[in-house]
Amino acid sequence: MTRPRITRISTPRGRPHHRVVHVDGRPALRVPARMLAELGLEPGDEIAAPLEEELEAADELHRIRARALRLLGIRHRSEEELRLSLIRADFSQSAIEEILGILKDDGILDDRIFAERFAEQRHRLRGHAPARIESDLRARGVARDIAHGAAWGEYGEDTGDIDSSLLDEAAMLLRRKQAHYEGLRSEVARRRMAGLLGRAGYPARVAIDAVSAMVEEMQSEGLLAKQERDEIDS
């Protein structure tokens, strides 16, 4: 039985520390250059079964790392999100865990940094409350203590101070969406505002106060449906 033979070793463009191993005239594996140097492999060498398995394992690690970096380049991800994406790509579990460990050691994959960035973005761009942010982080596989710290880190421990801050933020979110409620009857506007704040994770006690203040403000400015204002006046 004829064994596979290395016919060429080339350097991929932009990856000087890696080599493409051509087997029987076709590019078959991409492995670290140091590995080939350590094994002393050159064109013309035959590849026995144990060596073939070792090279294939190194090739898989390279492909997993490349895919992981592409995914992280598209958007930030938690460790669990990245793990699930790599599992769906049908890589072996042991190789995935090895690459995740390397990425964490290199500081490329860090759930604490991911959680902080996620919390800041969801709060600033979407107006989400800490409870919603913490829940979303937990759904992405972030550990409970990290998710809680990222979501609530900027708030104090006094309930009154927290509610005051949340009330200000809820009011700000409603003002950003004010155009959606203009011209509605007050009960319809109230219901839609409450739904928005509920989905954003604001506590009921905060949402009630924020919605009442917003409806009253819009009524005074004549922004609600006219028939509703007439009913109030009568």
Residue 193 lies in a domain: yes
**Domain check: are 229 and 180 in the same one?**
yes
199 lies in the same domain as 146: no
Q: Count of domains in the chain? A: 2
The average confidence (pLDDT) of the chain is: 91
Residue 227 lies in a domain: yes
One domain for residues 209 and 231: yes
Q: Which domain holds residue 195?
A: 159-234
CB 193 within 8 A of CB 178: no
137, containing H or E segment: helix 130-139
* pLDDT tens-digit series, residues 103-154: 999 999 999 999 999 999 999 999 999 999 999 999 999 999 999 999 998 8
SS3 label, residue 64: helix
Task: Give the tens place of pLDDT for each residue, 165-222.
Answer: 999 999 999 999 999 999 999 999 999 999 999 999 999 999 999 999 999 999 999 9
| Residue 203 lies inside a defined structural domain of this protein | yes
Residue recorded with tokens 């991911």: 114
| Per-residue pLDDT tens over the stretch 73-82 | 999 999 999 9
Is 0.85 topped by the overall pTM? no
